[in-house]
Structure 1
């Protein structure tokens, strides 16, 4: 994915979001605050073990939801590695963080491939997949863009996609849009703020 495309997608996300200022009773997130957003309210797909999953299954944990695909050369593995790094850096609190990877390429991303891909980052991470129609519905619910980019052969296509993570609080509400490229520390800071909430 080109830098220009990443910038345009980031700008689009900002345009879709009403950023709220931090105050004495509001945390100052490093990412774009989404508290009260009218989207990203549900996610119903099948995990890498064939189980039907929803956001409610992870209540009590801070969720980091990312849409991508396993053959992504840079954005996806970098993001998942950062989430794994942040989880490890939190020590015991890392058990309260759940990484969730949603494939935008269900055609190639089989359950078995997703299982091994998640294991390469953190064995607790969950990968979700659905039919083409279910994937499209999930992306629409999260306002996530994705599109197939043809390659030299029919099988060698790539996927352009929104390069950002969505952070959910322990009650299952979307709270932060974390842009790709910000690094692990801002992500860790925002997760700590969510974990500290009563």
Structure 2
């Protein structure tokens, strides 16, 4: 008994659908992040790609596209921070020194959570005092809050002191993105410099 034949039109549609699915699968494979043996918390596929429009510490409007091709670290802090921010930036400087020449392909983006006090000149002087690969970023409160929300970071202004000063409570994680702007690993204050250097080397050496 002969099997019934599908109409030519339906057969063509099925072939076209299969071809489309194969092409989509291949395309997804091309754009998926390579699997690397990280030591830090792997967030590949769990956080969105780097995306923002802010003002850098030279007064220039920049977006995430300006940092494509670099391994980028994103951090939320402020220049009046009494402890964790200067410690983090000092640590980043040590890490950059250990990367040697490869540090030129890495950037540390310091996003202020205190735009009222952290003007462009203040940011410029602050980040450059620590490392030449650090970039200060600022913007409107709405822009900064939107970016923090995008990466599940949090910050809030503390009570004002009698002298008018105040502190800002903020998350202290470092978000690390690969050359394509994809979120890859998360570092915390408890992370060792050795592990951070290891994972940065992996991302810098993939050439992806």
Q: Would you say same fold, with TM above 0.5?
A: yes
Partner of 1:22: none
Asked whether the equivalents of residues 50 and 177 of structure 2 are also in contact (C-alpha less than 8 Å), the reply is no
Aligned residue among 167, 188, 191 for 2:197? 188
- Give secondary structure in 1 for the equivalent of 2:66: helix
Aligned-residue CA RMSD in angstroms?
Answer: 1.5
Superimposed CA distance per residue, residues 138-172 of structure 1 (whole angstroms, 9 cap, x where no aligned partner): 11111110011113237311011111100010111
Partner of 1:33: 42
Counterparts of 2:196 and 2:157, CA distance in 1: 28
Task: Give unpaired runs (5+ residues) of structure 2.
Answer: 1-33
Q: TM-score, normalised by structure 1?
A: 0.82
Superimposed CA distance per residue, residues 114-135 of structure 1 (whole angstroms, 9 cap, x where no aligned partner): 0000111113321100111111
The Cα shift of 1:40 comes to 4.9
State which structure, 1 or 2, has the greater radius of gyration over its C-alpha atoms. 2
Partner of 1:160: 169
Aligned residue pairs: how many?
174
Partner of 1:5: none
The Cα shift of 1:27 comes to 2.0
Partner of 2:160: 151
The Cα shift of 1:83 comes to 1.2
Relative to structure 1, the CA distance from residue 183 to residue 35 in structure 2 (aligned partners, 3 Å threshold; closer, same or farther) is same
The Cα shift of 1:26 comes to 2.9
Partner of 1:179: 188
The Cα shift of 1:41 comes to 3.4
Asked whether the equivalents of residues 41 and 141 of structure 1 are also in contact (C-alpha less than 8 Å), the reply is no
- Following superposition, which runs of at least 4 residues in structure 1 exceed 3 angstroms of deviation? none
Asked whether the equivalents of residues 145 and 162 of structure 1 are also in contact (C-alpha less than 8 Å), the reply is yes
Counterparts of 2:128 and 2:81, CA distance in 1: 16
